[in-house]
Amino acid sequence: MTLLDVRGLSAAYGDVQALHGIDLRVDKAEVVAVLGANGAGKSTLLKTIVGQVRATGGTVQLAGVDISSVSPDQAIRHGITLCPEGRRLFPEMTVAENIRVGAHTVKDGQTLERRMQVLRHMFPKLVDRARQLAGQLSGGEQQMVAIARALVSEPRLLLLDEPTLGLAPKMIHEVARLVKLINAEGTAVILVEQNAKLALKIADRGYVLENGLVSTAGTSAELLANDHVQKIYLGG
């Protein structure tokens, strides 16, 4: 069943056209990788899906509902949450406070407490750190806080923008394990990664973006076997 259906999506920053008509689909409980070089338009694609960047053309549907011109808050209410590139935590706020920022659309205290309980199980290491300032954590720990903050709204679709960027190998492995766990619990994921090998290991399917266009798409196995993908993104 199709969860997210993006058709002909375009976006621009002033005169700079960043997306030139992207078609992309995510099925229910699927992990989809989005690969591409710096400046290809990966972050813009995610930001446009959640309404942080206004689309100049095309449509976005979530489970058959048109969400093409929603605000980021409305996108969260519809069930799509973006975990942004560079984590974007508030360094002077505690871990717990940062996670609660992601819950600002959750009005009911009981619902919030139930979700925090789920997160405490999923991120046991963050429980000990709840009162620590986010800015004092390691990069990997900060990434975990950013993912927890995105999950507190209980998205149907989680958009992860470069979650392993700058992390040590052990933490990259931990993020990969977490993405699989999140997906196993029923959440669909779009995983934007420079680390194509890792992304295609986790994902069911993938899309390659080049200059704001989808150049190649297929199952992870197809992309891993694709000559162009191997040469440009998998280091030969």
Residues at the contact surface with Mg ion, assessed by CB under 5 A: 42-43, 85
- Answer with the entry of Mg ion, ligand ATP, none that 39 interacts with (C-beta below 5 to 8 A by kind): ligand ATP
Classify the phi-psi angles of 118: left when phi > 0, otherwise alpha if psi is within -120 to 50, otherwise beta: alpha
Spatial separation of the C-alpha atoms in residues 127 and 118, rounded to whole Å: 12
Q: How far is the CB of 39 from ligand ATP (least distance, A)?
A: 4
User: Smaller CB distance to ligand ATP: residue 18 or 126?
Assistant: 18
184 binds ligand ATP (CB under 6 A): no
84 binds ligand ATP (CB under 6 A): no
16 binds ligand ATP (CB under 6 A): yes
Q: Which of 23, 85, 97, 222 binds ligand ATP (CB under 6 A)?
A: 85
User: Smaller CB distance to ligand ATP: residue 39 or 91?
Assistant: 39
Q: How far is the CB of 2 from ligand ATP (least distance, A)?
A: 24
43 binds ligand ATP (CB under 6 A): yes
User: Smaller CB distance to Mg ion: residue 1 or 13?
Assistant: 13
Spatial separation of the C-alpha atoms in residues 10 and 44, rounded to whole Å: 10
User: Smaller CB distance to ligand ATP: residue 41 or 129?
Assistant: 41
Piece of the chain touching ligand ATP by CB under 6 A; list 33-41, 95-103, 120-128, 129-137: 33-41
**Which residues does 181 contact at the CB level (< 8 Å), separation at least 6?**
122
Q: Which residues of 56-75 are buried (b: 16+ CB within 10 A; e: fewer)?
A: eebebbbeeeebbebeeeeb
Spatial separation of the C-alpha atoms in residues 217 and 224, rounded to whole Å: 11
Spatial separation of the C-alpha atoms in residues 222 and 210, rounded to whole Å: 18
39 binds ligand ATP (CB under 6 A): yes
- Chain residues binding ligand ATP by CB under 6 A are 13, 16, 18, 36, 38-44, 85
